[in-house]
């Protein structure tokens, strides 16, 4: 019996490959996408209304091609998303150079070189497949997740947490990074994302100053605390 490139497990966000009749030489396989653990028996291949799931029947060769192709597509998307400075990095580099692009060029080149070195280490192996599984097998979303993981230098065990951070930040890697960095101070990804969104800037330093104000004055809302910071900054200037 032909071997699949890797074992694909059932999960509510992933997919599972299983043989419809348990035979040794299958002519067809079924790809269960987002079934949430629902099962389809060999005696009843027709979808039941109560399942409310999508079962896509593919031949073995079609499924194998799909599983071999998706990681490569995700890797190409990763190159597009990661082999360039992030918005946060570019802002920081330009501010450090006094907004002189020529002066900032060496630092920008250094960032690019580092990012290219990192992205070259990612292949279509387990890490990429795990990212795809967490992202409903959508290559673009998986690439965004991998880009965030590389950007933070996080271990692969943090992929589910990173995906949640992306979901709570509208898929923006810089905002998701801010959510991850603020989480420890707030206690949850949800709380961190909420405060960052309310500040309007998605800035971790600003959010931490807002938290300091709210620690002293618990009844003060985030927008009010943010306004206090803006006025203090204007007065100091």
Taking only the tens place, the pLDDT of each residue in 11-21 is: 333 344 443 33
Percentage of the chain beyond pLDDT 70 is: 70
Q: Higher model confidence: residue 67 or residue 164?
A: 164
Of the candidates 99, 202, 121, which has an alpha carbon nearest to the alpha carbon of residue 107?
99
DSSP annotation of 156: G
φ/ψ (deg, to 5) at 172: -85, 120
pTM for the whole thing?
0.69
**Helix%, strand%, coil% for the chain, nearest 5:** 60, 5, 35
Q: Evaluate if residue 124 carries a pLDDT over 70.
A: yes
Query: Residue 125 contacts by C-beta under 8 Å, 6 or more apart in sequence?
Result: 71
Of the candidates 7, 150, 4, which has an alpha carbon nearest to the alpha carbon of residue 75?
150
Average of per-residue pLDDT across 31-42 = 39
Alpha carbon of residue 148 to chain centroid: 6
pLDDT at residue 32, as a whole number: 42
State the sign of the Cα–Cα–Cα–Cα dihedral 61, 62, 63, 66. positive
Query: How many CA atoms are closer than 13 Å to the CA of 194, on its beta-carbon side?
Result: 10
Taking only the tens place, the pLDDT of each residue in 93-116 is: 999 999 999 999 999 999 999 999
- Each domain of the chain, given as residue ranges in start order, spans 15-66, 174-237
């Amino acid at each position: 019996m032909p071997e699949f490139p890797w074992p694909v497990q059932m999960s509510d966000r992933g997919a599972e490959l299983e043989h419809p009749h348990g035979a040794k030489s299958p002519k067809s396989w079924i790809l269960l996408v987002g079934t949430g653990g629902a099962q389809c028996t060999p005696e009843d291949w027709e979808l039941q209304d109560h399942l409310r799931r999508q079962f896509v029947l593919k031949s073995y060769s079609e499924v194998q091609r799909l599983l071999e192709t998706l990681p490569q597509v995700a890797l190409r998307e990763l190159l597009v998303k990661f082999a360039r400075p992030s918005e946060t990095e570019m802002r920081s580099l330009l501010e450090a150079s006094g907004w002189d692009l020529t002066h900032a060029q060496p630092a920008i080149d250094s960032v690019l070189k580092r990012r290219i070195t990192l992205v070259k280490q990612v292949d279509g192996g387990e890490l990429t497949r795990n990212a795809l599984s967490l992202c409903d097998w959508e290559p673009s979303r998986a690439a965004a997740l991998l880009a965030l993981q590389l950007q933070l230098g996080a271990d692969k065990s943090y992929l589910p947490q990173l995906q949640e951070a992306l979901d709570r930040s509208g898929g923006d890697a810089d905002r998701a990074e801010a959510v991850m960095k603020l989480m420890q101070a707030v206690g949850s990804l949800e709380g961190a994302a909420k405060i960052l969104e309310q500040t309007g800037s998605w800035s971790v330093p600003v959010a931490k100053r807002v938290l300091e104000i709210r620690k002293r004055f618990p009844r003060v809302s985030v927008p009010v605390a943010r306004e206090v910071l803006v006025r203090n900054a204007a007065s100091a200037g």
